[in-house]
């Protein structure tokens, strides 16, 4: 305020000279593209003169432009300066935030750093990108930050760190590890820290990279501004390219399978029995014994369980915020509410959260900040995460389409055929039929109505901090954060049908709560020695504690149904239990940044962590890093105009991972091994006192550049991460009495290149920016203490990727008998090995069949704007990997899955008439393993995906004024627009392990539209 | 002011600076070092051993797997083709290294063996206050007998029937020491032992255990006891065709034991501890979900118990005056609640001679093992709980009869009397057999099949008789005829085990 007043006075004084000449007046208002608010204090100068002014408190200006001058220069700190030709007497200007600014300050571990001086590798993502793409950090990062792999829900920074410990990055929100993630709208920016120099300060938790989120804060001296955003979205499941069979196809196929099994004479007897006498046709025996349809046979009904169970999901969200500040304080408050109707008909949830951030300067050198979040959610009717018959989603996929949804009465037509009519209850409603052949007594649609599985959660987070500048340059910081998280689960299974029936009704109540706190104290001293040497030192101490408690109880015997589902109603206890867990971490940390002549930079950090997760001998770990950078562009020998910035940097450091679960090191007996009502214990943990941290050595070298007046900027980097002492549950021969033991085994390398390029292709009225990222990652196991570890579809062996498929190789169907074939290595008498076909699955040899993680990732974001319109397209691509299509496999079984439904493709199975096929003979109760794990289900995983398209329109100010608004934008966005790939079962962007699940929700194509206003 | 602020920072540092934070112990686990130090904890370890035998995770070794597979692999019982059928591959004799059956039974067996070895290794009465030497000996004896029992039961699936080659085939490793060293990852990788070694080691273990084990009739039928150990010995000797030793062991197994009476038998005594129970495994209510109990595999009700049927060839062996024929369903409809109907039916005790009904596929449902948690008058609300009689006196009586009959003429009177002991309980007007020689032996074996059907004996009986598998008639879906010694009788070592222990490939 003071500053802008002074500059206005000075500029006005200078401007007096201009009045003397012939001139015209130009006026207007300057606003920020960021928030649409007017900007006071923007300098407006007539180019080539000393004539200038600055905008007033409301962002308005007025200037006299002398004859012969036609260009105005608008500039403001943190915004890109604009030179605009004078057109007319009113010029409203929208200032763009400076996107590539060498003086940019970014948030890094335990502090901030100027981008130019930072020795580590980090990418900053700004709020514009976050708000536009919306839908979580993973989505935003993808294609925006090189070196980051996002597959399905997995986010990995620079490779795949671990075997069994978590490889997910660490999240830090406003300085607090693991604090609740803010709403997208509340994020100011986030920084992805990738190399040792930038993450080593997080020590034992930094090995997988760190994502630091900074939330929005209010601005001092600013009137309150309000923001409201509403959006509605519809999610449409991405359907597989194959379809499930309908009732007719299914029934006929099963009949043929039964003939193949028990022979023609017994076929109908067995078929009717196993189909539970549910016949969708109008005659008792609709097929001839060769499987063909009899004349006059007509399908009477067809049950599409999936369609009945699932629908498009939809979500409504509203966000409101207020922020502002006074002379010595600022605040930002926000609240978000949402309501979500899930894919499963009865699945619904809603929730709300509110955040408040307040900073006050108690004195010039004493600042207090409070950050708090409270959130609540409730969800209902989602029996989608349980096993088999208790999973309604699963049932809706596998149930026989030839079983009726509602009970039917058979009416004899008197001519050998029959028809059906619905059984009606006394109110005239149809009655659900629970007698399908697959899961007797289960009807997912009926159960959705009769059973429930609700949960409620509440969480409160509070983090006060105090910053005190003791003397010039020396700052002390103290921060305490605490979180309470409670969740309650409430489920009921009715006494009549489904799983509850054997229990005569079953009710479960469970609750858990977690409490965690972190205490941080640090001192930061910045000083200079002479003109050339700057130092920045941090020393600190941190302690963290996490407590978990749960309690659950189940009773059965609810003969009144759901009239009351309280535990006191049930007549017999079933299970009850409780558990507690505590985890502690103590850390000492230090960091030094040194800067010589703003040209050469050095950083060093050291952290010592003590964790409760490890045994006596290995509780403490030391982690450190060093980094160097050199701004070559500051050297005299390289002072070209077109180089704004050119920086070379390198770092090396040692980081750790401790994310392995608790109490893994000890020799323990578990409680609960009771027998005949008497307390028992059983030996479940094999001890490993030597269990220690996973350590990774990280080397990185890269170059940052900013060329042609920031028209082209980016980073090219090489990284190499060697992880030693990998934590893994090594499978043991069970003759030891244990399935596995957690050990530090082996060594793994992740190395690769990454590149980020940002280009301003067009600027001016029509704006076009593009970001391109490319990542190449090579993962290789360097050594293992055992020859190999076979883990599901993968084998770990020195020299291969940890994600290398190691499965049997499919050799097609023998046209003679319809049996499946695989390849096997056969040793000939002369010792040579020959690859031959075999029909014995267990004799078939397992081979390396390619890896499940892509070798190359690409991301391309295009942002275009013209006048009020903005348009962006995000495209991602991945190459060099394979997907194991477990979903297709489930629905292409050969009869081993008995009466479960199949994909229509299975109709092309081998028969004596149809021998030219790759689908084996269908036979009820098939034991030939033909649809067991093999390369039959492996497809090329390469894909190109249009991840997001967004179209927005910002309403021009001349309309806004009338509505008393500062900013209004309407937008439409589509997520997961389309993918190009060979994978047939939906979205090809699945988890890193590359195995798609037999029944799960595919990611959805989401259509979102909304409005965002500020006033 | 400055002083106070600095003091505040200093205080916060000291307040949180405690290494207690990283010294935490779990609340749901007991450190192993504390386990063998108190009598109560050792008691709990022993109970844990039985819990493991009865149930662990998804594998219920002695309340589901052994009892059920013992009949799935034979021919008197038909294993249903319900689509969730778990052991269809094993039933069809298509078992492969990658099948789930061998893996489950192998893993669960060795988890149990580890507990026995640890108990034998760790229990030391002299270090534990109040722990008597006798009790320590008894616990170690129980562990040894359990170790023998598990190994022999497991070996039958992986080795060749003992008598075919005098036990020279390789079966499974007999693990009799703690299977891992104190350095993790360094494990003893055992090799497969021959049937001969396994049986010899089991006999040694059992003989070592017997003197220290208590008798069953002191309320010990749910735990390893002297009578059960003798009974296991008898089974082993029967496998080895050592009938003299078998008869002696079976006789000892019956010490102090009376057979259960007709009423108990008829009213569901086989799902409970009864007078003749020698070793029983309990299914605890809080450990089981439905589908995973022995009773739920046999007793038809509420969509469960579709798994087992009696083959019509078995049912044909029962005479009309045999009360055991009542076990077969009087209705072909075996749908909801029929288990309860059975239950009522037993209670009514209508007298001998019923019309036996078939299911639509020809085979029979039965109510020999009624669930014990059924509520009279309710067709719902039962988990299918029941106790499994792993060994009971009747088996020993029939073994004595068979061994006596195999002695030749000198033993026939004894054989006939023992046979009659079984027959007269359930058959009205049963009289002493008039058969002799092979016919008498055959009659005893038929009686054995009738008496023990569904109790998991089929596989063992088939192997020791050396008659092979004969699924040539009746209601089997997979028709099979395998001569004794066919390689299909030997399950391959599970792939997961081969992957971790290459010695097993030998």
**How confident is the model at residue B495, as a pLDDT?**
87
Which residues does residue B187 pair with via DSSP β-bridges, in sequence order? B180
Give how far B282 is from chain A: nearest CA, Å: 6
- CATH number (domain holding residue A69): 2.60.40.1120
pLDDT band for position B289 (cuts 50, 70, 90): low
C-alpha B167/C-alpha B159 separation (Å) is 8
Between chains, do B30 and A743 touch, taking CB under 8 Å as contact?
Answer: no
Low-confidence ranges of chain A (pLDDT < 50): 1-21, 99-102
Between chains, do A671 and B29 touch, taking CB under 8 Å as contact?
Answer: yes
Between chains, do B56 and A900 touch, taking CB under 8 Å as contact?
Answer: no
B46, B83, B283, best to mutate vs chain A, most A CBs in 10 Å: B83
> Which positions in chain B touch A466 (Cβ < 8 Å)?
5, 8
Is residue A293 a part of any domain in this protein? no
Under 8 Å between Cβ of B87 and B72: yes
C-alpha B66/C-alpha B63 separation (Å) is 7
> Which positions in chain B touch A476 (Cβ < 8 Å)?
5-6, 9
Is residue A322 a part of any domain in this protein? no
> Which positions in chain A touch B379 (Cβ < 8 Å)?
none
Range of the domain at A29: 2-95
Using alpha carbons, select from B459, B56, B27, B32 the residue that is nearest to residue A685: B32
**How confident is the model at residue A899, as a pLDDT?**
80
**How confident is the model at residue A956, as a pLDDT?**
85
**What is the number of domains present in chain A?**
1
Find the closest chain A residue to B302 by CA distance: A502
Q: How far is CA A65 from CA A49, B289, B364, B375, in A?
A: 10, 86, 105, 98
> Which positions in chain B touch A575 (Cβ < 8 Å)?
286
User: Across the interface, which of B51, B175, B182 has its CB nearest the CB of A674?
Assistant: B51
Between chains, do A735 and B173 touch, taking CB under 8 Å as contact?
Answer: yes
Between chains, do A470 and B6 touch, taking CB under 8 Å as contact?
Answer: yes
- CA A50 to mean position of chain CA atoms: 53
C-alpha B352/C-alpha A633 separation (Å) is 106
**Number of A:B CB contacts under 8 A?**
291
User: Across the interface, which of B89, B185, B284 has its CB nearest the CB of A741?
Assistant: B185
B1, B4, B9, B334, best to mutate vs chain A, most A CBs in 10 Å: B9
Query: A821 exposed, middle or buried (CB, 10 Å; 0-12, 13-18, 19+)?
Result: buried
Pairwise pLDDT comparison (B201 vs B499), residue with the higher score: B201
User: Across the interface, which of B24, B45, B114 has its CB nearest the CB of A737?
Assistant: B114
Terminal Cα-to-Cα distance of chain B (whole angstroms):
81
Q: How far is CA A577 from CA A554, A667, B300, B331, in A?
A: 9, 23, 31, 42
Give how far A259 is from chain B: nearest CA, Å: 12
Give how far B341 is from chain A: nearest CA, Å: 16
Give how far A309 is from chain B: nearest CA, Å: 22
**How confident is the model at residue B352, as a pLDDT?**
36
Least confident range from A163-177, A868-882, B305-319, B352-366: namely B352-366
Under 8 Å between Cβ of A731 and B500: yes
Under 8 Å between Cβ of A398 and A999: yes
Pairwise pLDDT comparison (A373 vs B348), residue with the higher score: A373
**How confident is the model at residue B269, as a pLDDT?**
85
Between chains, do B50 and A261 touch, taking CB under 8 Å as contact?
Answer: no
> Which positions in chain A touch B26 (Cβ < 8 Å)?
581, 662-663, 666, 668
Q: pLDDT over 90 for what percent of chain B?
A: 50
Between chains, do A478 and B12 touch, taking CB under 8 Å as contact?
Answer: yes
Averaged confidence pLDDT in chain B: 84
Under 8 Å between Cβ of A609 and A587: yes
Is residue A6 a part of any domain in this protein? yes
> Which positions in chain B touch A579 (Cβ < 8 Å)?
27-28
**How confident is the model at residue A987, as a pLDDT?**
86
Find the closest chain A residue to B184 by CA distance: A688
Pairwise pLDDT comparison (B230 vs A170), residue with the higher score: B230
Between chains, do B117 and A737 touch, taking CB under 8 Å as contact?
Answer: yes
User: Across the interface, which of B8, B54, B175 has its CB nearest the CB of A675?
Assistant: B54
**How many other CB atoms are found less than 10 A from the CB of residue A640?**
10
Strand A222-237 to strand A1004-1014: parallel, antiparallel, or no bridges (unpaired)?
Answer: antiparallel
pLDDT digits (tens, 9 = 90+) for A317-357: 999 999 998 888 999 999 999 999 988 888 889 999 999 99
Between chains, do B106 and A900 touch, taking CB under 8 Å as contact?
Answer: no
Find the closest chain B residue to A898 by CA distance: B83
User: Across the interface, which of A668, A681, A686 has its CB nearest the CB of B184?
Assistant: A686
> Which positions in chain B touch A272 (Cβ < 8 Å)?
360
Q: What is the mean pLDDT of residues B282-289?
A: 71
pLDDT digits (tens, 9 = 90+) for B176-188: 888 665 555 566 7
**How confident is the model at residue A22, as a pLDDT?**
59
Give how far B69 is from chain A: nearest CA, Å: 17
Between chains, do B9 and A478 touch, taking CB under 8 Å as contact?
Answer: yes
3-state percent helix, strand, coil for chain A, nearest multiple of 5? 15, 50, 35
Between chains, do B118 and A683 touch, taking CB under 8 Å as contact?
Answer: yes
Under 8 Å between Cβ of B48 and B30: no
**How confident is the model at residue B375, as a pLDDT?**
58
pLDDT digits (tens, 9 = 90+) for B247-273: 999 999 999 999 999 888 877 788 889
Is residue A940 a part of any domain in this protein? no
**How confident is the model at residue A132, as a pLDDT?**
64
Could you state, in order of their start, the residue ranges of all structural domains in chain B?
Answer: 40-213+487-505
pLDDT digits (tens, 9 = 90+) for B386-398: 889 999 999 999 9
Give how far A933 is from chain B: nearest CA, Å: 11
User: Across the interface, which of A269, A667, A682 has its CB nearest the CB of B31?
Assistant: A667
Domain B40-213+487-505: give its CATH code. 1.25.40.390
C-alpha A893/C-alpha A888 separation (Å) is 9
- Both tokens of A56, joined, read 């007033």
Find the closest chain B residue to A493 by CA distance: B381
Is residue A8 a part of any domain in this protein? yes
Under 8 Å between Cβ of A163 and A728: yes
Q: What is the mean pLDDT of residues B204-215?
A: 97
């Amino acid at each position: 305020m003071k500053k802008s007043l002074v500059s206005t006075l000075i500029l006005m004084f200078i401007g007096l000279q201009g009045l003397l000449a012939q001139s015209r007046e130009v006026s207007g208002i300057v606003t920020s593209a960021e928030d649409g608010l007017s900007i006071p204090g923007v300098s407006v100068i007539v180019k080539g003169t000393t004539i200038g002014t600055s905008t007033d408190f409301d962002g308005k200006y007025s200037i006299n432009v002398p004859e012969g001058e036609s260009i105005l220069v608008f500039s403001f700190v943190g915004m890109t300066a604009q030179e605009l030709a004078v057109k007319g007497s009113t010029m409203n200007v929208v200032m763009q935030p400076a996107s590539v600014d060498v003086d940019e300050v970014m948030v890094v571990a335990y502090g901030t750093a100027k981008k130019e001086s930072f020795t580590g590798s980090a990418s900053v993502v700004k709020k514009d990108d976050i708000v536009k793409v919306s839908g979580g950090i993973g989505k935003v990062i993808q294609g925006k930050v090189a070196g980051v792999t996002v597959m399905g829900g997995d986010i990995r920074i620079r490779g795949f760190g671990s075997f069994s410990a978590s490889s997910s990055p660490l999240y830090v929100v406003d300085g607090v590890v693991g604090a609740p993630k803010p709403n997208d709208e509340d994020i100011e920016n986030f920084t992805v820290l990738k190399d040792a120099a930038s993450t080593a300060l997080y020590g034992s938790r930094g090995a997988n990279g760190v994502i630091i989120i900074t939330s929005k804060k209010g601005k001092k001296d600013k009137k309150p501004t309000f923001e409201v955003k509403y959006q509605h979205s519809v999610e449409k499941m991405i359907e597989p390219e194959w379809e499930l069979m309908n009732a007719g196809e299914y029934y006929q196929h099963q009949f043929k399978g039964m003939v193949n099994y028990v022979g023609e004479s017994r076929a109908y007897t067995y078929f009717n029995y196993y189909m539970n006498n549910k016949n969708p046709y109008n005659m008792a025996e609709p097929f001839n014994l060769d499987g063909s349809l009899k004349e006059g046979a007509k399908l009477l009904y067809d049950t599409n369980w999936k369609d009945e169970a699932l629908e498009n999901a939809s979500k409504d969200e509203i966000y409101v915020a207020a922020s502002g500040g006074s002379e010595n304080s600022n605040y930002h408050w926000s609240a978000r509410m949402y309501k979500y109707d899930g894919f499963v008909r009865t699945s619904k949830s809603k929730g709300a959260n509110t955040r408040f951030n307040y900073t006050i300067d108690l004195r010039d050198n004493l600042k207090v900040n409070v950050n708090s979040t409270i959130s609540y959610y409730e969800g209902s009717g989602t029996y989608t995460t349980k096993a088999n018959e208790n999973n309604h989603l699963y049932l809706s996929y596998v149930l026989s389409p030839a079983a009726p949804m509602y009970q039917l009465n058979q009416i004899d037509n008197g001519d050998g055929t029959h028809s059906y009519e619905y059984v009606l209850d006394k109110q005239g409603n149809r009655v659900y039929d629970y007698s399908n052949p697959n899961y007797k007594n289960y009807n997912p649609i009926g159960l959705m109505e009769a059973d429930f599985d609700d949960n409620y959660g509440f969480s409160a987070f509070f983090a006060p901090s105090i910053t005190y500048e003791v003397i010039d340059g020396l700052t002390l910081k103290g921060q305490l954060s605490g979180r309470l998280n409670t969740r309650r689960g409430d489920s009921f299974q009715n006494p009549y049908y489904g799983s509850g029936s054997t229990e005569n009704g079953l009710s479960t109540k469970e609750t858990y709560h977690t409490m965690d706190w972190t205490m941080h104290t640090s001192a930061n001293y910045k000083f200079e020695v002479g003109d050339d040497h700057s130092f920045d030192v941090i020393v600190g101490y941190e302690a963290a504690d996490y407590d978990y408690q749960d309690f659950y109880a189940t009773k059965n015997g609810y003969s009144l149904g759901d009239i009351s589902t309280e535990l006191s109603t049930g007549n017999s206890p079933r299970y009850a239990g409780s558990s507690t867990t505590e985890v502690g971490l103590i850390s000492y940390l230090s960091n030094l940044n040194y800067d010589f002549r703003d040209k050469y930079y050095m950083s060093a950090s050291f952290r010592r962590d003590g964790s409760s997760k490890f045994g006596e001998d290995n509780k403490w770990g030391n982690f450190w890093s060093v980094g160097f950078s050199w701004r070559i562009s500051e050297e005299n020998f390289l002072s070209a105009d077109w180089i704004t910035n050119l920086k070379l940097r390198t770092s090396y450091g040692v980081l750790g991972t401790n994310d392995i679960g608790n109490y893994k090191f000890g020799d323990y007996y578990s409680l609960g091994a009771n027998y005949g009502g008497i307390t028992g214990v059983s030996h479940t943990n094999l001890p490993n006192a030597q269990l220690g941290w996973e350590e990774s050595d990280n080397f990185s070298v890269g170059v940052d550049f900013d060329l042609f007046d920031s028209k082209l900027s980016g980073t090219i980097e090489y990284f190499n991460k060697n992880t030693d002492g990998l934590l893994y549950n090594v499978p043991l021969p069970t003759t030891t009495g244990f399935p596995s033991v957690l050990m530090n085994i082996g060594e793994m390398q992740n190395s690769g290149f990454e590149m980020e390029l940002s280009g301003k292709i067009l600027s001016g009225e029509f704006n076009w920016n593009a970001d391109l990222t490319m990542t190449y990652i090579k993962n290789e196991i360097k050594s293992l203490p055992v020859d190999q570890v076979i883990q599901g579809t993968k084998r770990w062996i020195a020299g291969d990727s940890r994600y290398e498929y190691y499965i049997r190789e499919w050799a097609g169907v023998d046209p003679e008998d319809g049996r499946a074939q695989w390849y096997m290595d056969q040793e000939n008498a002369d010792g040579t090995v020959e690859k031959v076909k075999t029909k014995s699955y267990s004799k078939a040899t397992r081979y390396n069949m390619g890896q499940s993680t892509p070798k190359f990732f690409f991301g391309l974001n295009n942002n275009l704007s013209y006048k009020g319109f903005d348009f962006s397209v995000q495209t991602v691509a991945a190459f060099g990997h394979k997907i194991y299509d477990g979903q297709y496999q489930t629905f292409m079984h050969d009869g081993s899955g008995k009466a479960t439904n199949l994909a229509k493709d299975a109709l092309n199975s081998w028969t004596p008439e149809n021998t030219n096929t790759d689908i084996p003979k269908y036979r009820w109760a098939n034991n030939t393993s033909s649809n067991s794990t093999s390369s039959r289900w492996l497809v090329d995983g390469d894909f190109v995906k249009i991840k997001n398209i967004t179209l927005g329109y910002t309403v021009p100010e001349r309309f806004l004024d009338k509505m008393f608004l500062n900013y209004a934008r309407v937008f439409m966005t589509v997520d997961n627009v389309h993918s190009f790939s060979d994978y047939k079962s939906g979205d090809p962007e699945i988890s890193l392990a590359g195995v798609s699940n037999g029944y799960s929700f595919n990611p959805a194509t989401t259509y979102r539209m909304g409005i965002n206003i500020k006033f | 002011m400055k002083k106070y602020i600095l003091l505040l920072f200093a205080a916060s540092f000291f307040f949180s600076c405690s290494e207690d934070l990283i010294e935490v112990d779990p609340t749901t686990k007991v450190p192993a070092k504390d386990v063998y130090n108190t009598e109560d904890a050792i008691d709990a370890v022993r109970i844990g051993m039985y819990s493991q035998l009865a149930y662990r995770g998804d594998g219920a070794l002695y309340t589901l797997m052994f009892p059920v597979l013992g009949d799935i692999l034979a021919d008197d019982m038909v294993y249903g083709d319900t689509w969730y059928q778990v052991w269809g591959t094993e039933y069809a004799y298509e078992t492969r290294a990658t099948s789930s059956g061998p893996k489950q039974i192998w893993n669960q067996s060795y988890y149990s063996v580890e507990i026995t070895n640890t108990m034998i290794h760790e229990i030391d009465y002299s270090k534990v206050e109040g722990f008597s030497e006798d009790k320590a000996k008894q616990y170690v004896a129980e562990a040894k007998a359990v170790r023998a029992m598990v190994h022999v039961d497991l070996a039958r699936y992986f080795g060749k029937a003992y008598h075919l080659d005098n036990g020279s085939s390789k079966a499974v490793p007999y693990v009799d020491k703690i299977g891992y060293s104190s350095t993790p990852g360094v494990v003893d990788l055992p090799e497969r032992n021959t049937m001969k070694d396994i049986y010899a080691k089991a006999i040694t273990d059992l003989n070592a255990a017997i003197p220290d084990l208590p008798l069953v009739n002191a309320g010990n039928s749910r735990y390893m006891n002297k009578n059960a150990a003798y009974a296991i010995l008898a089974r082993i000797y029967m496998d080895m065709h050592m009938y003299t030793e078998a008869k002696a062991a079976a006789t000892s197994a019956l010490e102090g034991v009376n057979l259960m009476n007709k009423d108990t038998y008829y009213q569901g005594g086989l799902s409970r501890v009864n007078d003749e129970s020698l070793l029983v495994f309990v299914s605890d209510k809080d450990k089981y979900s439905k589908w995973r109990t022995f009773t739920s595999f046999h007793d038809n009700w509420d969509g469960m118990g579709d798994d087992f049927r009696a083959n019509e060839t078995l049912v044909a062996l029962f005479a009309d005056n045999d009360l055991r024929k009542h076990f077969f369903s009087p209705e072909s409809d075996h749908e909801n609640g029929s288990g309860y109907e059975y239950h009522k039916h037993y209670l009514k005790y209508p007298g001998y001679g019923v019309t036996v009904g078939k299911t639509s596929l020809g085979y029979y449902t039965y109510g020999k093992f009624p669930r014990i948690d059924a509520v009279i008058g309710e067709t719902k609300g039962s988990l299918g709980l029941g106790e499994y009689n792993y060994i009971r006196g009747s088996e020993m009586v029939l073994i004595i009869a068979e061994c006596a009959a195999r002695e030749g003429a000198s033993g026939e009177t004894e054989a006939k009397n023992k046979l009659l002991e079984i027959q007269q309980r359930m058959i009205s007007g049963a009289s002493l057999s008039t058969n002799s020689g092979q016919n008498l032996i055959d009659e005893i074996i038929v009686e054995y099949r009738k008496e023990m059907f569904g109790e998991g004996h089929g596989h063992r009986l088939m192997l020791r008789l050396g008659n092979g598998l004969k699924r040539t008639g009746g209601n089997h879906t997979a028709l099979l005829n395998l001569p004794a010694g066919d390689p299909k009788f030997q399950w391959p070592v599970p792939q997961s085990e081969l992957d971790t222990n290459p010695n097993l490939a030998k």
